[in-house]
Amino acid sequence: ADGERRTILLHRITNLFIEQLPDLNDDHVSVFDEVILCLAAEIELAARIELSEKLADLTRGPRQTVQNLALDEEIRVAKPVLERSPCVDSSNLVVIAQKRPEAFLEAVSRRKRLPSQVTDILAQRGGDAVIDRILRNSSLELSELGLRALADRATTDTKLYRALKSRPDLALRHIGAILEAAKQKARSEIRDLTDQIELIDHAIDVGAAAVMINPAILEMADYVKPESADEAFHFSRAPREAEVVALINHGRINEALAAIAHLAGLPRETVKHAFGSPHFDPILFIMRAIDFQWSSFLSLLKAKNGGSLSQALHDSAFSSFHALSLSTARRVMRFISARTAA
């Protein structure tokens, strides 16, 4: 009987709170919070689930009560506020992400926004459904740690790799990191099979090139027109980096690409296709392989994208450029050169 009366009283007070909320100041909200929290302490499961549903969408909900519901060990109670309530403290979201089972992680991953310290943990602990929601929600923040965790997982998860590729603000800026993670994993798995380290490195680089660069991009397509007489640039010496950048900055892109092809030892059509790719990773490998500086690659990337870059694309390119080592880029280019010459 006492439990029933308690539940009825909680129901009435909660409804009154919701009705009066627009006119309540913070002190009033705190008073309601204390009363609701006290009444909710010893009620049946169904009543706690109902309370969580009622409070989940309030922008000025009773904070102590919401925290209490979010930390409930019964997922049916915690789920509504974990998914929707803006009143759940970030510190509690971190604790839940660190310690609770998958069902709680899934609920947290459904939030519209999350701080990076929470998404970083989800990226490390979460299952496929959690990772999928992180990638589908461009509003969720990810730090370098979280992105690296996704990159590491993508080396053994084709579906995740493809999902990352669909988010240029994420994985394209970490294309080099994914490549390096894949190589390190491959080395660790086969290091006991042979002591021929150079052979291992070559095999891994060939495989990485096949994965990271779409070979179709590097084929000469029917629509590529041969250079006209005035475009048949010839070089009596190797162009200097500053000269190539000057060509780019003056809008002489065909000449700049011809110079890059000359320096890389690649067919000009290959470099043109890399430049025209929807993503920047093919031309990134080429520019990195000829040891051009970040500023030079940035000039070419701006030309590729109409003269300006979004901040997200700039950060993506910067991270990818510096994650890709010169030695790796050159080994990949040697593989591509051999392939295009075959």
The pLDDT, as a whole number, for residue 46 is 95
Indicate if the pLDDT at residue 261 is higher than 80.
yes
pLDDT, tens digit (0-9, with 9 covering 90-100), for 48-96: 999 999 999 999 999 999 999 999 999 999 999 999 999 999 999 999 9
Here the tokens at position 242 are: 């500053």
Q: For 114, list phi and psi in degrees, rounded to 5.
A: -145, 145
Nearest to 255 by CA among 274, 268, 273: 268
202-217 confidence digits (pLDDT tens): 555 545 544 444 433 3
pLDDT at 131: 92
136-152 tens-digit pLDDT: 887 887 787 887 788 77
When pLDDT is cut at 50, 70 and 90, the band that residue 165 belongs to is: low
Helices 158-165, 144-154: axis angle to 10 degrees equals 130
Residue 169's nearest CA partner among 149, 129, 140 is 140
Residue 175 pLDDT > 60 = no
Kindly indicate the confidence band of residue 243, based on its pLDDT and cuts at 50, 70 and 90. very high
Which residues are CB-neighbours of 324 under 8 A, at least 6 positions away? Answer: 175, 176, 179, 180, 284, 285, 288
180-201 pLDDT, tens per residue? 555 565 556 555 554 555 555 5
Report the candidate in 190, 114, 126 with the shortest Cα–Cα distance to residue 153.
Answer: 126
For the segment 310-324, what is each residue's pLDDT rounded down to a tens digit? 898 898 889 889 888
**How confident is residue 160, by pLDDT bands cut at 50, 70 and 90?**
confident
Task: Please state the separation of Cα 116 from the chain's center in Å.
Answer: 11
CA distance from start to end of the chain: 86
| Cβ neighbour number for residue 220 with a 10 Å cutoff | 14
Give the range among 174-178, 256-260, 291-295 with minimum mean pLDDT: 174-178
Q: What pLDDT does residue 12 have? A: 96
The share of the chain scoring above pLDDT 90, in percent, equals: 50
Write b or e for each residue in 244-276: b if 16 or more Cβ atoms lie within 10 A of its Cβ, otherwise e: bbebbeeebebbbbbbbbbbbebbbbbbbbbbe
Residue 273's pLDDT is: 84
pLDDT at residue 225 tops 70: no
Q: Work out the average pLDDT over 243-268.
A: 92
Q: Rounded to an integer, what distance in angstroms lies between the CA atom of residue 337 and that of residue 48?
A: 66
- Give the global pTM: 0.57
CB contact at 8 A, 325 and 252: no
Range 16-29 average pLDDT: 96
Q: Bigger pLDDT: 20 or 192? A: 20
Residue 336 has a pLDDT of: 67
Question: Which pLDDT value is given to residue 306?
Answer: 83
Residue range 271-300, pLDDT digits in tens: 888 888 777 888 998 999 999 999 999 999
Q: Could you report the per-residue pLDDT of 100-141, keeping only the tens digit for each?
A: 999 999 999 999 999 999 999 999 999 999 999 998 887 887
Q: The dihedral of CA 248, 251, 253, 255: what is its sign? A: negative
Give the pLDDT of residue 216. 39
